[in-house]
Structure 1
Amino acid sequence: MKKILIVEDEVYMLNLLAIHLGSEYDLVMANDGIKALDFIKNHEYDLIILDIMLPYVDGWIVCEKIRELCDTPILMLTARNEISDKVRGLEIGADDYLIKPFEFEELEARIKALLRRSNFMQINKDKITENILSYTDGLFTLNLDSRKFFFNECYVELTAKEFELLSLLATSPTRVWSREVLLNHIWEEYEERDLRVVDSHIKNIRTKLKKIDKDQKLIRTVWGIGYQFVLPGEK
């Protein structure tokens, strides 16, 4: 049974989550940020459901601290519905963001998607052997030393920026990367820093991949936010 940590200070919401999820998952509850951080430091979880407005330590800080400790999938569950809040949550390491009020069918679907993706990553990821990032028995292989990329046993020639961009996305498959963060990670201050540059490079990578397999999509567009790597073979 998968173990989920729920960080939520509203008793009513905790009870509802327990009713809807308790039969399928092993649930651990924390009603403030300090307890949550203590649990995370001393135990392992398959998924963390995290509210933002918490006593003592808010969800933003908790999320950042989690990412310093582990790569456990994080689903932010909050009443904050501004797009800027969603972008912030995803930028600091959350894997998904669901706004209250919500339908429990949607929550359950998102939980299963995150757990499936995390499990798929653990099964198919062979990282890192001599700085080689490989997924799905070598279907996708990035050599970080020689800076060579092979897809479906075919060598794909990438520019320096395309390689850096694909490498960044592929090393964190569950993360949604905003255009701003990608720009700041890869482009120097003296270089062109238009967000459209990121889109252009993503388009070029996709074009090169389509020449090998037109049906395989390795980079997903998350509308209004940015991009996410799709593990080869993931449905």
Structure 2
Amino acid sequence: MTILVIEDDVKTGDYLRKGLLESGYNADLARNGTDGLHMALEHDYELLILDVMLPGMDGWQVLAEVRRVCDVPVIFLTARDQVDDRIRGLRLGADDYLVKPFSFTELVLRIRTLLRRGAAREPDTFELADLRLDPTRRKVMRGGLTIVLTNKEFLLLHLLLKRQGEALSRTMIASEVWDMNFDSDTNVVDVAIKRLRAKVDAPFEHKLIHTVRSIGYMLAEQP
């Protein structure tokens, strides 16, 4: 497994690379944000360790550009210790945030945790027939045409594709997509399915979203 360290402080960067090598990882080192971004996009790293205050491009900019392309795990390792900084890093898509000075043992434990999660990361794309959903880029296409969905419609289709071939109850769908307990007097799921069908199924001859009587809905080539 190869980890990319993007750190401009020479002593810290060398220390991190040496420690990672001794811990059984391959490690590359970039000493500014511009080089770090180039390396992150050119190579398939298992994880990035990223400082915030970097020459060329700061860590915020590097992470924003990386997240436009891939979902590689990222740990911020920085002296920026304000709560607002932590929130900003996590909102930009960082998986963890560790403040300097730091314990190298703790860093390695956090790396191992993220890499274990990474082993179960979902596929880059979900496909069924001519329907394709890209979670990272939040794109949906069918028959070569781009389909524009609202946020909830995207989450609903994502769920149906992840569980394709399974009959999903309205209660389960409401819990996963709306984070709510399903109320039998509320037709939020049925309305959302109707709108999703209008975009994903109606323009096409072959229908993929099916009603499962007395249960809920299913995404499949055949009901």
> TM-score, normalising length from structure 2?
0.61
Query: What CA RMSD, in Å, does the superposition of the two structures yield over aligned residues?
Result: 3.1
Residue matched to 1:20: 19
**Distance across 2 between alignment mates of 1:29 and 1:116:** 23
The CA distance in 2 between the partners of 1:103 and 1:148, in whole Å, is 41
Q: Deviations over 1:160-219 (max 9, x none)?
A: 8x46xx45xxxxxxxxxxxxxxxxxxxxxxxxxxxxxxxxx64648xxxxxxxxxxxxxx
Aligned residue identity for 1:18: R
CA distance in 2, matches of 1:35, 1:58: 11
The DSSP-based 3-state class of the residue aligned with 2:68 is helix
Contact 2:126 2:161 in 1 (8 A): no
Provide, for residues 118-177 of structure 1, a one-character-per-residue CA deviation record: whole Å limited to 9, x for no partner: 11225xx584122699xxxxxxxx861896996xx67332498x46xx45xxxxxxxxxx
Decide whether the 8 Å contact of 1:132 with 1:144 is kept in 2.
no
Pick closer, same or farther for the CA change 1:202–1:83 going to 2, 3 Å: farther
CA distance in 2, matches of 1:148, 1:41: 28
Question: Retained in 2: the 8 A contact 1:148–1:155?
Answer: no
- 1:118 match: 118
Give the equivalent residue in structure 1 for 2:98: 98
Find the residue that maps to 1:121 and give its secondary structure.
Answer: coil
What is the Cα deviation at residue 49 of structure 1?
Answer: 0.5
**3-state SS of 2:126 partner:** coil
Note if contact 2:17-2:29 (Cα within 8 Å) is conserved in structure 1.
Answer: no
For the residues of structure 2 that align with 1:145 and 1:111, how far apart are their CA atoms? 28
* Aligned residue-pair number: 157
**In structure 1, how many angstroms separate the alpha carbons of the residues matched to 2:162 and 2:53?**
43
Q: Is the CA contact 1:132–1:143 (under 8 Å) kept in the aligned structure 2?
A: no
For 1:49-64, what aligned pairs fall within 5 Å after superposition?
A: 49-64=49-64
Report how far residue 107 of structure 1 moved.
0.4
2:42 counterpart residue number: 42
**Unaligned 5+ runs, structure 1:** 134-141, 168-200, 206-235
Structure 1 residue 155 and structure 2 residue 168: aligned? yes
Question: Which letter does structure 2 place at the counterpart of 1:109?
Answer: L
Structure 1 segments of 4+ aligned residues over 4 angstroms from their partners: 145-150
Q: Name stretches of at least 5 consecutive residues in structure 2 with no aligned partner.
A: 134-154, 183-223
Mark the structure with the bigger radius of gyration: 2
Secondary structure at 2:127's aligned position in 1? coil
User: Residue 79 of structure 1 aligns to which amino acid in structure 2?
Assistant: A
